[in-house]
């Protein structure tokens, strides 16, 4: 590796590690908030030192892989650009306040608490969506929730969430060999558009349709992606896609399937198959599943207990790869990093790119 490239690699990795340390420091405040609410920390499970060491080893490996992918030109250095520091700092007190409410809901096992804004959306979303996922205020149905979500997820994963999201991009680069010219992408369950941004940076000429069930989250995605062209925003459900057959070259999602009931998960994959062109591709990033990370199973088992995830156990026991093959996808490709995996598969038929 040339010296200049090696220096850039080290600086990029150093930045990612510093960013991870920053979010880890914020993460340490959460047990304190829990103690304030419950008057005790006895309900917090202890973690063995060896498990902590293994987790941070896997975190480092992911961040190093992410940096190497930048050096390979799979996506630009711009994916690491930080947001406005003042905006970040001003959001953190809101997260602390929301953390108090999250701790109370967790302690009381309350996952159906909604304010007036959220209640206005409840009748327009499926029953499985009518809950406080992660015990967060408003579930996915308020503008405040949408504002805080990405920051909260980075705290949860010690600054690794973005790098996990980007695991899907190298797999896509293997099959789409240009900048996306003439290609139609669909992101299902796009949330506030974080992965959309990275995908657009990697495939600047692709047209991306951004779909999410939440109107407030879709509104936030529009704000976050204001500077990008070639985007459509559509409200809709993964299991009932409002698009014609064989319309997209690539359909993908991020952190979606572990939050769906089994039948809806099946329906979402079938719908993806329907709207993908023959020879096109389907991909996703989501949590590791059982047997995929023996050293991290302790965390995967604890996650749905700490953060309201009623469909996670079923997800963890049924490999997504089996589902993809059962509906007809083939040529499966896979990568893993930290607590996540990325999978890409092809729909039988012609060549899409």
pLDDT at 120: 95
Closest by CA to 140, choosing from 83, 97, 105, 190, is 190
pLDDT at 35: 64
pLDDT at 44: 55
> What sign has the CA pseudo-torsion 329, 316, 31, 338?
negative
Pairing of strands 340-346, 276-287: antiparallel
Phi-psi category of 253—alpha, beta or left, where left has phi over 0 and alpha has psi -120 to 50? beta
Strands annotated E in 149-206:
184-188
Low-confidence ranges of the chain (pLDDT < 70): 1, 30-47, 351-353
pLDDT at 52: 78
pLDDT at 352: 43
Class of domain 161-346: alpha beta
pLDDT at 50: 78
pLDDT at 6: 82
Closest by CA to 252, choosing from 201, 313, 187, 196, is 187
> Residues 207, 184: contact at Cβ < 8 Å?
yes
pLDDT at 261: 98
pLDDT at 41: 47
Query: What is d(CA 340, CA 219) in angstroms, rounded to the nearest whole number?
Result: 27
């Amino acid at each position: 590796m040339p010296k200049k490239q090696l220096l850039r690699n080290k600086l990029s990795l150093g930045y990612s590690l510093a960013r991870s340390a920053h979010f880890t420091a914020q993460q340490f405040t959460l047990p304190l908030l829990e103690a304030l609410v419950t008057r005790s920390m006895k309900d917090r499970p202890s973690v063995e030192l060896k498990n902590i060491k293994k987790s941070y080893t896997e975190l480092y490996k992911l961040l190093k892989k992410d940096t190497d992918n930048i050096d390979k030109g799979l996506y630009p250095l711009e994916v690491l650009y930080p947001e406005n520091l003042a905006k970040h700092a001003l959001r953190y007190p809101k997260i602390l306040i929301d953390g108090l409410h999250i701790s109370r809901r967790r302690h009381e096992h309350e996952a159906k608490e909604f304010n007036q804004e959220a209640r206005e959306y409840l009748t327009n979303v499926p029953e499985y969506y009518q809950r406080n996922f992660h015990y967060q205020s408003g579930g996915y149905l308020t503008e405040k929730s949408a504002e805080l979500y990405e920051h909260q997820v980075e705290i949860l994963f010690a600054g690794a969430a973005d790098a996990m999201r980007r695991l899907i991009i190298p797999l896509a680069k293997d099959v789409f060999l240009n900048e996306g010219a003439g290609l139609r992408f669909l992101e299902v369950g796009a949330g506030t558009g974080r992965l959309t941004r990275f995908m657009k940076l990697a495939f600047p000429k692709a047209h991306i349709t951004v779909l999410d069930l939440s109107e407030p989250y879709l509104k936030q995605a529009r704000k976050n992606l204001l500077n990008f062209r070639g985007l459509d925003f559509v409200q809709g459900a993964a299991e009932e896609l409002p698009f014609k057959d064989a319309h997209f070259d690539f359909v993908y999602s991020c952190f979606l399937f572990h939050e769906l009931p089994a039948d809806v998960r099946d329906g979402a994959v079938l719908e993806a198959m329907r709207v993908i062109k023959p020879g096109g591709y389907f991909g996703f990033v989501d949590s590791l599943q059982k047997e995929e990370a023996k050293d991290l199973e302790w965390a995967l088992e604890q996650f749905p207990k700490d953060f309201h995830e009623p469909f996670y156990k079923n997800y963890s026991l049924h490999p997504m790869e089996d589902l993809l093959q059962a509906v007809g996808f083939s040529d499966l490709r896979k990568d893993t990093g930290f607590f996540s995996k990325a999978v890409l598969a092809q729909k039988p038929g012609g060549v899409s790119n």
